[in-house]
Amino acid sequence: MSFVEYGDTIKDGDTAIVFLGHESMFPVKVQHGTVTQTKYGVIRHSTDLIGKKYGSKVTCSKGGWVFILHPTPELWTMNLPHRTQILYSTDISIITMMLELKPGSIVCESGTGSGSLSHALIRTVAPTGHLYTVEFHQQRAEKAREEFREHGVEHLVTVTNQDVCKNGFGVSNVADAVFLDIPSPWEAIGHAKSALKAEGGRICSFSPCIEQVQRTCLAMEEYGFTEINTLEILLRVYNVRTISLQIPDLGKAAEDNSSTGFDSSNPSDQGSPCANLQQGTVQFKSGVPLREVVGHTGYLTFATKS
């Protein structure tokens, strides 16, 4: 099993996603002789999981059932253990696009955090690219190395435990893109420029406060970056529903019926618009935004090395 290569069957040692519903799922490490408790009963790894195909419907001991899904970066983002605040797929998708990442790209990242973005970056640059990720916190760096090894992507990523603002990324003139998610990104802009390839490399900085964005933009200008722009991604969901509205009285219904050739005695005309006119209401689909929407997460500042 690997997060960047699809496997057909569940094997001992795999990380799988137990799917109970769209709002209820969790990861599990598959091991011989182990059981997993769910609200639908027990799942026995040896008999219920190992050797079965991903996507299988597994019946639990109480008669309920779950699906066992192959892990992806998107599913991992929804289920990973939170060691820090993480980036979600809405921001990750625009980061991947604006950094112009593709298979074979070299990417530098700081900090690693819980690894949500890291898994998406690794999947994007595989099979020939590489991710150099720097984490200041030693325990988080060690846990990230362990997860990358368990997920079969350790050959695509190098985890370094150091302060990127003081010591940089450990590479020079090789990166196609740099991503910064640290409290003071303006202190790392110089190291980011050194890590980027000679020209044309892209940089992105994620910051929750506009004051951080202002200082970062000034530092980017100081180091000669161009095409500096800041985005904020807000997800606005619409609720589609059927509503009924009363039709205004624009004249006698009999005159309307005679002009349109409507025959109330003819059953074939009962579904016509005029039939709705006689009832005084009309139904149609309407889309309205939800009263409560997901608010601000952070600002994404992009720039290009000139």
3-state secondary structure of 141: helix
135 is in an annotated binding site: yes
306 is in an annotated binding site: no
Give the single-character DSSP code of 295: -
Residue 61 burial (10 A CB sphere; 0-12, 13-18, 19+): middle
For residue 177, give both structure tokens.
């893109």
**DSSP sequence for 74-135:** HHHHHHS--SS----HHHHHHHHHHTT--TT-EEEEE--TTSHHHHHHHHHHTTT-EEEEEE
CA distances for 78 relative to 27, 100, 128, 147, angstroms: 10, 24, 27, 16
What is the residue type of 35? V
Q: What's the rounded Cα separation, in Å, for the pair 30 and 51? A: 11
CA distances for 114 relative to 118, 141, 176, 190, 250, angstroms: 8, 9, 23, 25, 63
181 is in an annotated binding site: yes
Indicate the annotated binding residues: 114-117, 135, 163, 181
Residues annotated within a binding site for S-adenosyl-L-methionine: 114-117, 135, 163, 181
